[in-house]
Structure 1
């Protein structure tokens, strides 16, 4: 029963983790599209220095966020498949750090009215377009953000439950079971041990004595 429950939790963790991976892939694709637009506007490589000497930090930030989500997704799939303690601890650490970063950014946006002044100027204009899109579709973006945070929290809880259950204690092969691990085999009858050696023959004197006794009895 415990093995079935653990298998279900592993499948749920992989499914929830895949949602976070799809979000990471979408963010990477969006960042690549912004890079293509920036390259088209500047007429040169987007990773080179532009004329103003300022880099499009918003594009780089989005690209780094997408890659980070993809890496966390890969570590989550490995942790869910192997049920290894180190992998699960590392995955939970990544998720909790990501949640803390999101909480800090959200608190700064809502509590600090001048939070935009703390950010450098984005020469690509992508940050301004992204900000206007969120303001015009605030309800839609709010539910998407809450869904992503819920998925991350659920993945953290599933990883914690999977860590508590731990790996399988027994092997699948019957030959690997020992009487200490299998109580039903403790009272089993063990086969007798035999020693292999040279055959033992009776001496000739004993054979003649047996024959004489048989004749006397007759």
Structure 2
């Protein structure tokens, strides 16, 4: 029963964790599209002396998407292995990500001049993205709430898997593990052979000659005894 529950928790964690991966891939695709548009605009003569470090918003967007994809990979590895160290690292990273998102949201909501804290974006991509979010604020609000719920649920599932521990019963699934335990029933003890195999010994010529002389001397003694008896 514990193995079934552990398998279900692993599957749920992978499904929930995949949501972060989808968000990360969407951010990477959108960042690549913005980068392509910016490079196309930079081909004009007015962008000859353009500083590429000014593309901070696009680079931040791409790095955030790549980070979410890496976190998704770590979550899948942790769910498969059920290793306590991997699950702990995964929970810490998700918690830090949640903390960072909370700080950013609090700064945007409480600070009316939050845009002044950011460097200038000469490409205008940040301004376009902000207008797009404001025009679809309800949609992005539900997406943000979904991401926060997914992250919190991922931490909860990782904590439960870590409490259950690794699947120790999986090592008994293979029949090869029982081979050493069944061998004594088939062959309880080794029987020592009742004979010893060695090199054959052949009689030499001297041995045959000694046997012949001994036989002749024995025959002569028996003949002498018979004559004396007669």
SS in 2 for 1:122: coil
Q: Is the 8 A contact 1:18 1:73 kept in 2?
A: yes
Q: Give 1:197 shift.
A: 3.4
Quote the offset at 1:191 in angstroms: 8.9
Q: CA deviation at 1:194?
A: 4.3
1:68-107 to 2 correspondence within 5 Å? 68-107=67-106
**Hey, what's the Cα distance between the residues in 2 that align with 1:49 and 1:164?**
59
Indicate the residue corresponding to 1:187 in structure 2: none
Q: Secondary structure at the match of 2:192?
A: coil
Asked whether the 8 Å contact 2:34–2:58 carries over to 1, the reply is: yes
Contact kept in structure 2, 1:42 and 1:50, CA below 8 Å = no
Give the number of the structure whose alpha-carbon radius of gyration is greater: 2
Quick one: structure 1 residues 129 and 176, their matched pair in 2 at CA, closer, same or farther if it must change by over 3 Å?
same
In structure 1, stretches of 5+ residues that fail to align are 178-189, 201-218
Unaligned runs of 5+ in 2: 179-184, 196-230
TM superposition shift of 1:87: 1.3
1:197 to 2:192 alignment: yes
Question: Structure 1 residue 137: deviation in Å?
Answer: 1.4
Match of 2:111 in 1: 112
Please list, as runs of the form range in 1=range in 2, the aligned pairs for 1:1-218 lying within 5 A after superposition: 1-43=1-43, 50-51=49-50, 55-170=54-169, 171=171, 172-173=173-174, 176=177, 194=189, 196-197=191-192, 199=194
Q: Secondary structure at the match of 1:8?
A: helix
**TM superposition outliers: structure 1 runs of 4+ over 2 Å:** 48-54, 173-177, 190-200
Q: Deviations over 1:73-94 (max 9, x none)?
A: 0111111111111211111121
Task: Select the structure that is richer in helix.
Answer: 2
State the Cα deviation string for residues 18-72 of structure 1 (Å, max 9, x = none).
111011000000000000010011118xxx9953675121101100100000000
Q: Cα distance 1:193–1:41, how it changes in 2: closer, same or farther (>3 A)?
A: closer
Q: Could you tell which deviates more after superposition, 104-113 or 191-200? A: 191-200
2:13/2:154 contact within 8 Å kept: yes
CA separation in 2, counterparts of 1:107 and 1:49?
39
Distance change (3 Å), C-alpha of 1:136 and 1:193: closer
Contact 1:9 1:158 in 2 (8 A): yes
Q: In the comparison of the two structures, how many residue pairs are matched?
A: 187
Cα separation, 2, equivalents of 1:5 and 1:59: 42
| Structure 1 residue 175: Cα displacement | 6.0
**1:144-181 superposed Cα distances (whole Å, 9 cap, x missing partner):** 1101111111111111111111111232235647xxxx
Contact 2:42-2:48 at 8 Å conserved across structures:
no
